[in-house]
A and B are shown apart, each in its own frame.
Chain A
Amino acid sequence: MSHQAKAVALISGGLDSLLAAKVMLEQGVHVEGINFYTGFCVEGHTHAIRKQDKAKPKRNNALWSAEQLGIKLHIVDIVEEYKDVLLNPKHGYGANMNPCLDCKIFMVHKAQQWIEENGFDFIITGEVVGQRPMSQRKDTMPVVARESGAEDRLLRPLCAQNLPATLPEREGWVDRDRMYGFSGRNRKPQMALAKEFGFEDYAKPAGGCCFLTDESYSAKLVDLWDARGKREYEMDDIMLLKVGRHIRPRPHFKLIIGREEGENKFMQGYTKIYISLKTTSHAGPLTLLDGVANDDDLLLAARITARFSQGKGDEKVSVEVRRTNGEVTSLDVTPLPASEIPEAWYV
């Protein structure tokens, strides 16, 4: 091949994108990685929040993948642009609030813009026909190529032999025979290929990388929209959906109760934006109050906070209530018994 083709690989941090990029590197293609940050990525900050996770190595798998491959990685913040993808998905949602097909189209579209701006020839993804119920089906994979604008500059090396030849194949930039024909949800071919390439410590196969595929997270997001009467969100909202117990005792306010020290510490950064409650007579959680609250509501919030403190069995627990203007009051309350916290309050 006289032309050294240049490709950008969508790197999620998972095994498939790692392998797809490696297959192209093996064919002499110049590959650089691109990783999109939506705000809903499981990678990254959530590992840093909970203290119980501190024993685990804090590794960003997209960076790790790029390092294994010896390629550059461009990480792109698409938090603002992604809102429209999530709020108005043309192709709808998956099992939860995951707009997987629209998401894939959007990311490939962004990659297409990137290759045009940077003089690259084509785009690589780790997609495999039949692996995902929305975005990786035989009938939806052409939709991704078409609606993203990438058309036949979108190459999926792990299943290329199952798909029509793309521009890089027709031009002879890559050899179709040295790509693969993987299909379906069976992960064994990928695991065998990883072994062949000497990749061992890769992220778990088929691991979800997006909070929107998580049922519990999606329920909290829908609850947030319902309570506010409008479907919109800010970065702080989607961060706080990842931490704490979420309890909505009244339609007009919700409590976010830290579950351990790491979460309490993380939530401390939000005490100037939200009313916060903290037990002072006993060790206990930090609670943030999202919404509006009158004195009765604050009393209830204090009793619930006390319920999750070490004084839950005591007659009185002192709770400090801090308003966003810095004003602090103290309430002596009886912890709300567990039996008086209905299951329906838990979001």
Chain B
Amino acid sequence: MRTLRQYLQALLNAKKLLAYTFLLCFFLWVTTPFLMILLKSFGRNWFGKLWFPPEFTLDWYKWAITVTNVPEVLRNTLVIAGIAVTISTLIAIPTGWALGRRQIPGKEVIMSTILLPRMIPPIAYALGVAQIFYRLHLIDTHIGVAIAHVAICAPYAILVLSSTFEGLDERVLEAASVCGANNLRTFFHVTLPLVMPGILSSIIFTFTTSYNEFTLTLMTYGPKTITLPVRTYLAVGEGYWEVTSALSMILIIPSLFVLFMIQRQVQPEKLVGGFKGV
């Protein structure tokens, strides 16, 4: 406690150098692993204890594309994420609207119920999902894997959208109805544009969740629906880490794009801040 106190005190005293050292260490701690992957993915003959690989090559990328079928796998991943995002958003818009704008008895209870899937370890219901899907022949179909992802994505989307609907300015809606717009018109011409940023952030987050989803995919995928995280898992276990690294570099490009979008479009607090109600 005492050392912690001195440490915080020192930081607080606005010693800029110390502050920057701390932030820089933090930055390196988070990002150097990616640098290692980058080097590994281009390096060859990197033996013994060397800081940098002695030779550079593009072979591992070529290999990742031919052997691990990256184009096909990437297509699977994006198709699945696309379906999952669409379904989740379609579910979340009415439900979010009802939870955000209507008086419903036991709203709190309904909300926590819908969020329950995020409180239970995914592996627990993934087992059930796999068994049901085997029976329904949904295993190894894009739609099947995507539906499994909805189990995790939908609560997220509902949460984000219900708080967006809740935050709508009552006066604007009233003005619309005063001007003679009926309910549906109001919804499509006034409400929807107003909640568009909310929908967009919900889409970004559900996309990220689906794109990175591993547990449910592992239980429901098949030869035709291998996604990038599953392919990476297989490659970590069976292949050369050089190739796995190349695969990983390809895999994080969409993530970086999403990161860029988050920074431009949404406040990151929305991403997790909404969970305060959990």
The finding on whether chains A and B are genuine partners in a shared complex, rather than unrelated, reads no
Query: Which B residues form the contact surface with A (CB < 8 A)?
Result: none
